Amino acid sequence: MITPGAALSKSAPLLACIGLLCAWQVASLALQTESFPTALEAIRAVPSILGDKESLVNIGASIRRMAIGLSLAVLFAIPLGLLMGRIKGVASFFNPLLMIIYPVPKAALMPIIMLWMGVGDMSKTLVIFLGVSLPIIYHSFQGGKAVEEKMLWSGAAMGLSAPQRMLRIVLPAALPEILTGCRTGLVLALITMVTSEMIARQSGAGNILFNALDMAQYDTVFAMIIIIGAMGILFDAAFEKLRGWLVRWSKPQHDMPLSFS
Amino acid sequence: MNPALNKVLLGITPIALFLALWQSLITFGYAPVTMLPPPGAVFLRLGQQLFTSDFLHEIAATLLRLFAGFGIAVVLGVIIGLAAAVSPAINAVVKPLVRVMAPIPKVALYPALLLILGFDHASKITLVAADALFPILLSTYYGASMVEQKLIWSAMAAGTPRAQILFKVVLPAAMPSILTGCRIGLVISCIVVFLAEMITSTDGLGHMLVQAARTFQTVDMFVPLITISMLGLILNSLLHGLRTYLLRGFPEV
């Protein structure tokens, strides 16, 4: 038996989506410009994009690049972040460099990386990797720093070596924070993916979006925005499920990540 | 040697190593100068351009959009965040909306903004504001909802009117969290304003980069990148200064 209140809070995000689409519909009816189709027209254009084999392949390629870039970043950034959190020297070694790199838009490196590696998958994946790594490093660093000394002492007293302590104490203890970083990273990967494809117009979801803009196919532009937006919402919701299961032992956390850097 | 100096030296090492690696790639002939200009040439060009009026004009255009977007995001984020934390009714509306809108990649909205708001400042400023809004909103919300109930009770016991509690108790207590959100929002603003200028613009740092890339002027491609990184650092340290000023007397967090 589901109470009405619980049902309402479960369907609230869905209601929010519908509300946004309604607002869009009203706004475009009010503005009446040709370049701003109504929500219904845009939704009607979605099946034709998803039905087209070439666009599907393109979107699939985008998601593949994103997945590879994100996984590489996770494998690289979590160990580095945890080491920075546990060893002071490592932290003061890397911190200034990271601070300099942080405000540089990673997708802006795209033109330079394209010079070296061409417009192919390599450069786009590399840009995604660079963009995603920083927040994950930062959150792993914070998580590693906050691990209680006492647990480490107990571990050492029970004869765990330093690498074992890292793996069996620091990693699980910092996991909630690390996963917050990964969630930020996931959204960021999607952003970087779109931007990199927009700069290297060759394939991918971003390419479809901006080509449609150049060719004034406004329905396609807005349909593509819906598709990319839906991808963002779905990935985020799926990751949230996974995160909830992985850290089900920890205190319930904020249901929204704090940083979207 | 004192520990603070030690820390600074340790921090400079990787930056120096990075520059050395960059230089040695060229010196030992792994990368042709046309693909990767030597760091000396890049910084020299930056130094030359820094005081030309053209370059300052580009920086001014970028900064204008950055501050406008960031300012809007701060005002809206703090107001909505506080309102959602104080009133359950507003919270019920804001929360699902934020949940849905926060993970949408805002860059994808940029074409729509272009079509609706035109190619001028407005679309870029809106994009920056939309991207910087959510971290500020969320950290304000969490900061304000975690204010200790005891503080509010004491203020009420001391006779503070309900309307003033928001400004005299909740807002100052949430300040550390709000400022953390602002810091994240600021970095995002730097990134987004640059990207927006790269996509469509006639001026600004992002436009400089695209222009240089089209003509394969590799030195000129690095100059705007380094400039935005330095702008980010300067703005960040200004915000840090503001934080230490606003939070004087707070226990160090």
A147: domain CATH number is 1.10.3720.10
B residues 192-211 near A, CB within 8 Å? 192, 194-195, 198-199, 206, 209-210
Residue A192 pLDDT: 85
**Which residues of A fall within a CB distance of 8 Å from B31?**
116
Gap between the Cα atoms of A27 and A253, Å rounded? 36
Helix, strand, coil percent content, chain A, rounded in steps of 5: 80, 0, 20
Q: Where are the domains of chain B?
A: 37-246
Model pLDDT for residues A150-175, shown as the tens digit of each residue: 888 888 888 888 888 888 888 888 88
The answer to whether A82 and A140 have CB atoms below 8 angstroms apart is yes
Euclidean distance between CA atoms B224 and B26, whole angstroms:
21
pLDDT of residue A255: 47
A154 in a domain, yes or no? Answer: yes
Asked whether the beta carbons of A195 and A218 are under 8 A apart, the reply is no
At B75 the pLDDT is 95
Q: Is residue A207 part of a domain?
A: yes
Domain tally, chain A: 1
B231·A225 Cβ contact <8 A: no
Which of the two residues, A30 and A250, has the higher pLDDT score? A30
Q: What share of chain B is helix, strand, coil (3-state, %, to 5)?
A: 80, 0, 20
Domain coverage including residue A143: 38-246
CA–CA dist A143, A174 (Å, integer): 4
Tell me the per-residue pLDDT of B197-228, one tens digit each, with 9 for 90 and over.
888 777 888 888 888 888 888 888 888 888 88
Assigned domain for A19 exists = no
Q: Is residue A253, in this structure, part of any structural domain at all?
A: no
Residue range A138-149: mean pLDDT, rounded: 86
- How many Cβ pairs within 8 Å bridge chains A and B? 176
**Both ends of chain A: CA-CA distance in Å?**
40
pLDDT for position A252:
56
Test mutation, B15, B99, B178, chain A, max A CBs within 10 A: B99
Nearest-Cα residue of chain A relative to residue B215: A111
Cβ neighbours of B222 in A, within 8 Å: 112
Given a contact cutoff of 8 angstroms between Cβ atoms, the answer to whether A246 and A172 are in contact is: no
Above 50 in pLDDT, residue A74?
Answer: yes
- Kindly report the average pLDDT of chain A as a whole number: 81
User: Contact at 8 Å (CB) between B170 and B241?
Assistant: no
A66 pLDDT more than 80: yes
Chain A residue with Cα closest to B225: A104
Instruction: Write the DSSP string, B3-19.
Output: HHHHHHHHHHHHHHHHH
Average pLDDT, integer, range B173-187? 86
Distance from CA of A116 to the nearest CA of B (A): 7
Residue A98 forms part of a structural domain: yes
Q: Percent of chain B having pLDDT more than 70?
A: 98
CA B61, CA A228: separation in Å to the nearest integer? 30
**CATH code of the domain made up of B37-246:** 1.10.3720.10
Which residues, in sequence order, are CB contacts of B172 under 8 Å at separation 6+? none
In a domain, A257, yes or no: no
Convert the pLDDT of each residue in B89-128 to its tens digit. Answer: 888 888 888 888 888 888 888 888 888 888 788 889 999 9
Residues of chain A positioned with their CB less than 8 A from the CB of B188 = 260-261
Residue A260 lies in a domain: no
B15 inside 8 A of chain A by CB: yes
Note whether B109 contacts A: Cβ–Cβ < 8 A.
yes
Classify residue A13: in a domain, yes or no. no
**Mean local confidence (pLDDT), A4-8:** 65
* Average pLDDT of the segment spanning A123-129: 89
B127 in contact with chain A, both atoms CB, cutoff 8 A? no
Closest-CA distance, A188 to chain B, in angstroms, reads 8
